[in-house]
Structure 1
Amino acid sequence: MDVSIWRCLLLLGFTIYCVQCKCPSASKRCGDCLITKDCAWCKDRNFTETRCNTVANLTTNNCANIVRRKQHSIHYIKNSNFSDGGPGQDSVQIKPQHVSIKLVPNMVLTDFQVSYKIARNFPLDLYFLNDPSYTMQPLQASLKSLAKSIANEIQNLTTDFQFGLGTAMDKVILPFTRTSPKYLNDPCFGTSLSTKCDKAYSYRHRLKLTPKIEDFEAAVDDIRTTANFDKPEGLFDGLLQTMVCGTKIGWREKARRMLLYASDINFHQAGDGRLAGILEPNDGTCHLNGDGYYTEAEVQDYPSIGQIIQKAKENNINIIFVIGGNSSELNNQQVRNLFYDKLATLLPGGTPRASELSTDARNILDIVSANYRRLRETVKLVVNEDSEEIQVVMYTNCQTGGRLKDQTNVCSGLTTEKSATFYPYIISTFNTCPEKRNVTFTIFPEGLEERVQVDIEHVCDCDCQLQPEAEPDSEKCSYNGTYECGICNCNPGWIGDQCECDDRGTAEEACGTSNGICNNAGNCTCRKCECFDGYSGDKCECNDKNCRSYERMLCGGPDRGRCDCGKCVCNANYTGEACECAVSTADCQKDNGTICSGNGECVCNRCQCKTGFRGKTCDQCTSCPGTCKNNKDCAECVAFGTGLYNSTVCEKMCTNVKTAPLLEPATPEGQVVNITIKSCITEDDQKCIINFNVYDTDSGKEVIVKDTRRCPPGSPDPIKIGLSISGAIFLIGLLLLLIWKLLTMLYDSMEYSRFESEIQNPAWERSENPIYKECVTTVQNPMHETQFKNESSDEKLMQ
């Protein structure tokens, strides 16, 4: 193997490795994993690490059962030996004929071989398509005289051959052929060949392929000269019909097909038909009638070069261009160089150039023999694969004598004793197993019908994925999947490690709400909602973070309760919307054991007093009669010297009354004792509001009076109100008068300034009074101009 091959393989291997060197850890099946080169699979049931990994990593992770990549396998379905053929025997030149290959992804198959050897008696079908013009008469004469010699020469190469014959001229329509009646029946009218010319036609198939040389000679002898009108000729119509009319021409399925195209002038091709108004493209199908004439010549355009090449490949026709004759326009070499040499290289068989006839056309024997030997001794293997997943690269060692392999599909210099061996390197490069796992393509010698059918099966599954190792509807998979390679491959509609989740139907059907799937607060799995953190409920409808808080903690914290679907569920010792209330009543009890002094209810370990009571245990009466009334007179006389008590009585009766700027809740002395506070608001004779507190302590009652009182304002003085209104009206009138005076003075000043400015500008004295009319009237004589013009005309006449 030469250096270029090694480089190609190394580059291919490096490319595949670099693209896919990382094992796909997300692979769910063994086969998907092993598509990647250098990856293996662990099929232990309780394996918890990544199953798709390299062999080294799986061994390190203590995997006991490792599944490795398989190797390619080749099975020869038909592999008949070479055969020279002969009477009653089929010749075999290529083997194997049918092979089945199991191809491992991302590996190059190099073990496949195709051998080719020339069969001594391989069938040959040789068809002559001639130009029947006058200048090609020497070829007709040579074919007739040399027919037996050609047959004898070919018989030295194969004993199984057939000859056929056809002639083609041009479309019978202007401007290609004269269409007047005298020219239609005798295209040579007016020449020395008149009455000896054949009727104008496009293409005529004269002799079906036959092994009888006498019939071929008779058909050649029956050819009569004909003619067209323009210089190029329409042999392409006949060439295409010869290739596509296989049954009528007589082409054998398993034979080398040679078509000898003989002319001495350029050809018409697609597009030239428009000169005659023929716009319909050539359809590339057979249109020969029972007499062998082409019937659509004047309906369809000439075939294109592309159609000729395509039909030659489809029908395995080897076309040999033979150029010669007595044309006066161009010599044979010019015609060959300009029109046929390049076309010859594009056709099957790889003819290097067109052949040239000698003047007497006697070298037709050498042309046929040389071209058949060249086609016979050279083979070109062609692959017709069209798969995107595989690529076939052909190698052979026929040029190096078996020492090295060259990347080529052509071998030459073959004999009946020397065979050629080809090595189709089949390369698969894909990341996932293709939907179409079975691919068929053929390998065949160009120009021959022999085929090597190659059936490719992409090996994408591990053995543990297939029965008997795989367990369909396994108990390990909840009877809803196949246990394979250590994991469950669930049936459609089931998911989960053990296929325990029913995933049939849509998520909307199982978990849908008006607010979305699982209220947009969870995922629908196994037809059930898996809620996000903070949400609960069958369809995640409960927000577990939407409860009331107590002391900045949801439901007072875990010691008091928890939030359930937007409401607090309190522990045994707490209650309330936020679990803020303790169930105990210890803080509501007095020393004598009564709850809230009998004047309220204990709620949340706190007393809620009835109307008129206050205090921690509702032991203070805020609306009990007598307290404020009994201390009102003392409060008035001590603080303000008013009320029913005079000073003497006040000093004697009100010793426990004091004043203060503010009323404090505690006693004046700041004693912390059992105390009851009564706040009083009263009104004295002057309608003033007096505030005082009565403190009932263990040592007695004490009254503190706020030293200020709130008295209502006195009645308004009507004289002051009247004077105020009158003064305001006078001032407003005086202000308006001053404003008016200032505005008039400003306007008069502006008018005076403008008057002075106009006096100083004397232009007004020179202006004309528009209503003034002068007393002099000017009248114009209408005849004055007429007289002047007449006098001028007389003067000109006098001059």
Structure 2
Amino acid sequence: MHQGVCLRILVLLLIGEYVQSQDLCSSAVVNTCADCIKTGPTCVWCKFLNFTKPGEQEAVRCNTKEALVSKGCPENDIVSPLNNMNRLKDKPLSSTRGRDPVQIQPQEIKLQLRPGVPFTFELKFKRAEGYPVDLYYLMDLSYSMKDDLENVKKLGNTLLETLKKLTTGRARIGFGSFVDKTVLPFTDTNEEKLRRPCPEKEGSCQAAFGYKHVLSLTDSTATFSTMVSQQQISGNLDTPEGSLDAIMQAAVCGDKIGWGNSTRLLVLATDAGFHMAGDGKLAAILEPNDESCHLDKNFMYGKSNELDYPSVGQVAIKLAENNIQPIFAVTKNVEDVYRELSRLIPKSEVGVLDSDSSNVIELIREAYNNLSSTVIVRHEEQLPEHLTVQYSSCKGGVFSDQGTCNGVKINEEVTFTVNVQVDKCIGDTSFRIGPLGFQDRMTVHVSTRCECRCDDAKNPSSPHCNGKGHVVCGGCSCDEGFVGQRCECEVGKRDESSLRAACRRDNGTECEGRGDCVCGRCQCHATESGSFYYGQHCECDNEHCEKFQNQLCGGNGDCVCGTCKCHEGYEGSACHCKKSEEKCKGRDGTVCHGRGKCVCNQCECLGDYKKPFCRRCPTCEPPCQRSGACIECLGFKKEQQSCGNCSHIKAHMVERLDKKPENWQCRVKDSEGCWMLFSMTEDNGLEKYIAEILKTRECPEPPNVVAIVAGSLAGVALIGLLILLLIKLLIHLKDLKEWKRFEQEKQRAKWTDGSNPLFKEATTKVENPTFSGD
């Protein structure tokens, strides 16, 4: 299960990285193949001639390889410069003892790197037998080291013989001494005390001094013994000494010390701590240490009282640059101090001296064996900007700023893996890599591959370019006087109206006012910050996204065409919150019940589902009717596998229905006319339900045919009789009405017996109504 989860997470990460790379490539300001490969390490260019559609920008040729192949670009036409390495000097490692052994392979290489694409190669090292050793003994001559000085004066022969046995080759030894700066509060500045800083009882004492080089590296035991025997003790006021001043001068004054092509050891013998950068302010010394050699004609540190003490970092850098490995031979009381110092200085060892330094020979022997068996590989100078170099140990593992291999024996070959990456296009540069403490170095020359080599046939009259240009990486390089994607536009003879219309989005402003319309294609202007607008109509830029805490995309994402593309682990419209689902999980552990997505630790619900967990939808209608067919099939058919698209319902048969607040109580007829009773509860996800179906349906009893027939006949007869009675009643009512009217007319009649009402006289008298009588 855990493997499955991990696999899904890995797939999601890869998909996220692929989508982000695709967005980066497709949204960049790209006009040529060189522009494309400079955009990002996953961006490649399609040089297939007919890849772009008419009017489509050349920028679509730039995308990830997968995206271009999916759009129809043949893999053979995809241009993607690869990293390359040439071995300029590759001598084999020395197998026998020699004067100038070859301990590192290869010695010189040339890398051609594509920005953003790491390149690894192997570096081999073999510790040669008889490699010479130079040891510079740097001794604290403050008064507390009096006994130690006496013992060192007796160790000349023994010390040099021990070195020769350790290396089976040439060994040399030198000597230097130090105390502290000769100013207050470090040293008593009384004239007498400066001349003689030791206690009065001390017979021999030399004047106060900072650092003095006594003896350059030599293989003469007699010379070493003679020079050391002449040294006298000195003194100062405070406990810490000027150790770092002395180490710095011993490291940078190589021509005076006499360092050779050898293993360089610097033994610092002291019983006190050390002053460091900043302590000089106590004596009003404000000038920082300049990391330069300042030995005068008497081999004294001439600017001891003018320059501040160096910092630990300065000392570590100069020791590494000059391949000097320090051995701190210190007393028990300051062991912890120098062990902390040793952690900050690669290839250094700490040994505990006896109170009189009598065990210094054994201490040096043990420290040398530890140092020589530990190989640390790193670059020796400051790397050029935008270039990173990392190493893995000889046993593999993660990459870091240096490669380490312990327990390396003489003539044992070990291999380190070096990872080099350049972040952007830079000029030719170089740096050197090598093991600390050895003179062997490998020179690495670096150049960047920021141009495309498409090997197109430069036909000045290519038909693809309408005979007005030649093909370069699939696009057209037009002849003078012609422009356009296919050189189809001649300057001064273009149909301006139609070409300019192609530069307007939704019939708006040409190129959104952010570019120039050239032959129907927008050439976008630069933004105020120096980047470019982009898009078919210059509608996009990467500067106007939502801000959070006054940072674009909260500082946790990239602005791409006005939308924040969040980095891994962040989300939100402004990438302002870390991804988390703790507050989006319900009691059952699901995120937003599958009905929304968790953004900024809050559910964004789909539809009308309500926060905080998208559990309820107050406006959603019960799914009773539309679920009837599935309920019938799942609950009352034997073959549930034939229930079609009913997988969104999980059905259970029950003896009785529980009425819960979140349940829908449903009553639906099935295909047999029976009532199905069931309840439905929303399951996690959209349109997913859990149904509890009552086993018993409510079905009507079958009809009684005899009763129906008898009832029908009786009904017909009864209806006929009722109709006849109704007709009879209507006739009777009509007759009664006529009789009553007759009786009324009879009562109103006035009969006369004297004349016939039908008789009329023969003459008629007529009078003129207008006649007045005159």
Q: Aligning the two structures, in what range does the TM-score lie when normalised by the shorter sequence?
A: 0.5 to 0.7
CA shift for structure 1 position 90: 1.5
SS in 1 for 2:155: helix
Is the 1:93–1:117 Cα contact (8 Å) retained in structure 2?
yes
Which residue of structure 1 aligns with residue 442 of structure 2?
A: 452
Count, aligned residues: 486
Deviation at 1:407, TM superposition (A): 4.5
Question: What SS is found at the alignment partner of 1:175?
Answer: coil
SS at match of 2:451: coil
2:473, 2:195 → 1: CA distance?
84
Look up the equivalent residue of 1:411 and give its one-letter code.
C
Q: Which whole-Å CA distance do the structure 1 matches of 2:149 and 2:344 have between them?
A: 28
Contact 1:348 1:447 (8 Å CA) reproduced: no
Q: Distance in 1 between matches of 2:367 and 2:321?
A: 21
Q: Retained in 2: the 8 A contact 1:42–1:65?
A: no
Q: Is 2:459 the counterpart of 1:441?
A: no
Q: How do residues 21-32 of structure 1 correspond to structure 2 at under 5 angstroms?
A: 21=22, 24=26, 27-32=30-35
* 1:98 Cα offset (Å): 1.2
CA distance in 2, matches of 1:357, 1:247: 30
- Larger mean CA deviation between 419-428 and 43-52 belongs to 43-52
The residue matched to 2:293 in structure 1 has which SS? Answer: coil
Counterpart of 2:476 in structure 1 is 488
Change (3 A) 1:224 1:86: farther
Q: 2:142 aligns with which of 127, 133, 136?
A: 133
Residue 192 of structure 2 is matched in structure 1 by 182
Decide which of 342, 352, 369 is 2:340's aligned counterpart. Answer: 342
The residue that corresponds to 1:320 in the other structure is 327
What is the CA distance between 1:278 and its match in structure 2?
A: 2.8
Name 1:791's counterpart in structure 2: none
Give the AA of the match of 2:205.
Answer: C
Quote the Cα distance in structure 1 between the aligned partners of 2:485 and 2:389. 41
Distance in structure 2 (CA, Å) of the matches to 1:522 and 1:232: 68
Superposed, 1:29-428 pairs within 5 Å as 29-33=32-36, 41-49=45-53, 50-52=60-62, 54=65, 58=69, 61=72, 66-83=77-94, 89-110=99-120, 112-158=121-167, 159-188=169-198, 190-191=200-201, 193-194=202-203, 196-252=204-260, 254-323=261-330, 332-337=331-336, 339-351=337-349, 354-383=350-379, 386=383, 389=386, 391-398=388-395, 405=397, 407=399, 409-427=403-421
1:271 deviation in Å?
3.2
Alpha-carbon deviation of 1:296? 1.3
CA contact (8 A) 2:143 2:198 kept: no
Distance 1:139 1:472 in 2: 87
- Per-residue CA deviation, residues 273-299 of structure 1 (Å, 9 max, x unaligned), is 333333333222211111101111222
What per-residue deviation string (whole Å, max 9, x for no partner) do you get for residues 138-179 of structure 1? 333333333332222222332133211111112223333333
Q: Is the 8 A contact 2:143 2:235 kept in 1?
A: yes
Determine the C-alpha separation between the residues in 2 that align with 1:364 and 1:438. 49
Contact preservation (8 Å) 2:166, 2:365: no
- Answer whether contact 1:17 1:37 (CA < 8 A) is retained: no
Task: Show the 5 A alignment for 1:586-735.
Answer: none
Moved more, 305-314 or 257-266: 305-314
- Residue deviations 1:685-740, cap 9 Å, x none? xxxxxxxxxxxxxxxxxxxxxxxxxxxxxxxxxxxxxxxxxxxxxxxxxxxxxxxx
The letter of the residue matching 1:269 is M
Q: Is the 8 A contact 1:84 1:120 kept in 2?
A: no
Instruction: Provide, for residues 615-643 of structure 1, a one-character-per-residue CA deviation record: whole Å limited to 9, x for no partner.
Output: xxxxxxxxxxxxxxxxxxxxxxxxxxxxx
Q: 1:436 to 1:80 in 2, by over 3 A?
A: same
What TM-score, normalized by structure 2, do the two folds share?
0.55
Pairwise CA distance, 1:521: 11
Letter of the 2:485 counterpart: D
**How far has the Cα of 1:389 moved from its partner?**
4.8
In 1: Cα distance, 2:513 partner to 2:181 partner: 81
Structure 2: 5+ residue stretches without partners? 54-59, 493-499, 501-508, 523-774
**Deviations for 1:544-582, whole angstroms, at most 9, x for unmatched residues?**
xxxxxxxxxxxxxxxxxxxxxxxxxxxxxxxxxxxxxxx
Of the two, which has the highest radius of gyration? 1
Q: Is the 8 Å Cα contact of residues 76 and 98 (structure 1) preserved in structure 2?
A: yes
C-alpha distance in 2, partners of 1:497/1:469?
A: 18
**CA separation in 2, counterparts of 1:84 and 1:498?**
64
Deviations 1:460-490 (A, max 9, x none): 33321x6x75568989879997631221246
Instruction: State the distance in 1 between where 2:240 and 2:108 align.
Output: 47
Match of 1:17 in 2: 18
Please say which of residues 438-447 and 369-378 is displaced more in the overlay. 438-447
What's the CA shift for 1:70?
4.8
Structure 1 residues 62 and 414: CA distance shift in structure 2, 3 A: closer
**Matched residues in 2 for 1:206 and 1:236: separation?**
17
Q: CA RMSD of the aligned region, Å?
A: 4.2
Secondary structure at 1:463 match in 2: coil
Residues 505-516 of structure 1 aligned to structure 2 (within 5 Å): none
The alignment partner of 1:166 has SS state of strand
Structure 1 residue matching 2:166: 3-state secondary structure: coil
Matches within 5 A, 1:550-561: none
Q: Is the 8 A contact 2:483 2:519 kept in 1?
A: no
In structure 2, relative to structure 1, the CA distance for the partners of 1:24 and 1:335 (3 Å cut) is: same
Distance 2:156 2:482 in 1: 79
The CA deviation at 1:76 is: 0.8
Cα distance in structure 1, aligned partners of 2:357 and 2:514 = 92
Q: How far is the alpha carbon of 1:344 from its aligned partner?
A: 1.5
Q: Distance in 2 between matches of 1:212 and 1:272?
A: 39
Once the two structures are TM-superposed, the CA of residue 497 in structure 1 deviates from its matched residue by 2.6
Q: By how many angstroms is 1:63 displaced?
A: 5.3
Change (3 A) 1:100 1:359: same
Please report how far the alpha carbon of residue 55 of structure 1 lies from its aligned counterpart in structure 2 after TM superposition.
Answer: 6.2
1:463 equivalent to 2:437? Answer: no
Query: 1:344 is matched by which residue type in structure 2?
Result: S
Q: Quick one: distance in 1 between partners of 2:480 and 2:141?
A: 73
1:698-777 counterparts in 2 under 5 A?
A: none
Structure-2 change in CA distance of 1:460 and 1:344 (3 Å): same
With over 3 angstroms needed to count, the CA separation of the structure-2 counterparts of 1:347 and 1:453, relative to structure 1, is: same
Once residues 421 and 11 of structure 1 are traced to their aligned partners in structure 2, the CA distance between those partners, rounded to angstroms, is 36
Pairing 1:516-531 to 2, within 5 Å after superposition = none
Structure 2: how far apart are the matches of 1:521 and 1:267? 67
Q: Aligned partners of 2:14 and 2:160: how far apart in 1?
A: 54
Q: Supply the distance in 1 between the matched residues of 2:222 and 2:33 (Cα, whole angstroms).
A: 70
Task: Name the amino acid aligned to 1:377.
Answer: S
One-letter amino acid matched to 1:147: G
Q: Give the TM-score normalised by the residue count of structure 1.
A: 0.54
Amino acid in structure 2 at the alignment position of 1:102: Q
Q: Which residue identity lines up with residue 29 of structure 1 in the other structure? A: T
Is the 1:124–1:256 Cα contact (8 Å) retained in structure 2? yes
Partner Cα separation in structure 1 for residue 480 and residue 155 of structure 2: 76
The 3-state SS of whatever aligns with 1:156 is helix
| Pair 1:281–1:374, CA change in 2 (3 A) | same
Matches of 1:462 and 1:175, distance apart in 2: 66
1:591-626 Cα shifts (integer Å, max 9, x gaps): xxxxxxxxxxxxxxxxxxxxxxxxxxxxxxxxxxxx
